Homo-oligomer: A and B are copies of this chain.
Amino acid sequence: MQNKPPVPEMKVLMIGDVVGRPGRRAVKEFLPALREARQIDLVIANAENLAGGNGITRETADEIFSYGVDFLTGGNHIWDKKESYSYIDEETRLVRPANYPPGAPGAGYRVFTVGNHKVGLVNLCGRAFMPDLDCPFRKAEEITAALAAATPIIIVDFHAEATSEKIALGWFLDGRVTALFGTHTHVQTADERILPGGTAYITDVGMTGPRDGVIGVRKEAIISKYLTQLPKRFEVASGPYQFNACLVTLDPATGKALSIERVQEFER
């Protein structure tokens, strides 16, 4: 009797919103070892808060590419630095939410090659308690149908606030995408699972950045904002950082997810 050769798996790591310098430092400290130890094939990071907590720059993107990040996703804050629109437009390793109106800089989804496999990466933004964008459900349907012709491996970063919108899109795409990673709330959720159709799902991957602020921001300013309702200046918090991510193993032949696992690391 013959042993079956081991199924070749692909491992994808999604890193939650990387916030400013503390977030980039956390990527630097934790990603290389993790990539090596877990034999990760593809690393994606949400980069909407990469530069000073608001938006992205070529320099900060290059910095985390150098630590082992392969691709970047965006969110509602990706547009915060107007001077980086041309970078967003040119960078082929970046997707920004696909359901912004036509004409927005950059691309909402892309196909790239990982080893011998093509991977589709999609970024979408929610609408509940968020900007007035095009319907993420219909846009997801349109894009996944287009990508299905190219590859069964489709990764979605759904950047949204309301748990109901995220879970609903997870069910809507179950069996049509490999993984739906939620981002935006900056708090990792503990509901990771493989849905019945083979889609890996988590409501939020969390945040990679300063641990002792409020979703990455100096806590004194946020508390004061809630107490006074007056305008406040928000700055990236200092102090120890954390690394939040989610690791999905998939079968590249079918695009189905095989496992999903939350990852958390803390500065010592």
Hey, which bits of chain A sit against chain B, CB under 8 A? 79-80, 82, 100-101, 103-104, 127-129, 131-135, 137-138, 161-165, 167-169, 171-172, 185-191, 203-204, 206, 214-215, 217, 219, 222-223, 226-231, 262, 264
Contact A132 B129 (CB under 8 A): no
Chain B hits for A189, CB < 8 A: 187-190, 204
Residue of B nearest to A232 (CB): B82
Contact B226 A167 (CB under 8 A): no
Q: Say whether, besides A168-B219, A219-B168, A137 and B188 are in contact (CB < 8 Å).
A: no
- Copies of this chain, complex-wide, total 4
CA distance A188 to B193 in the complex (A): 13
CA distance A164 to B203 in the complex (A): 16
Residue of B nearest to A165 (CB): B226
Chain B hits for A80, CB < 8 A: 231
* Contacting residue for A187 out of B134, B163, B172, B227, CB 8 A: B163
Chain B hits for A161, CB < 8 A: 129, 161-162
- Give chain B nearest CB distance to A144 CB in angstroms: 15
Question: Top 5 nearest A-B pairs by Cβ distance?
Answer: A190-B190, A127-B132, A188-B190, A163-B185, A163-B187
Question: How would you classify the secondary structure of chain A's contact residues: helix, strand, loop or mixed?
Answer: loop
- Give chain B nearest CB distance to A79 CB in angstroms: 5
Contact A137 B167 (CB under 8 A): no
Q: Say whether, besides A161-B129, A167-B215, A206-B191, A79 and B223 are in contact (CB < 8 Å).
A: no
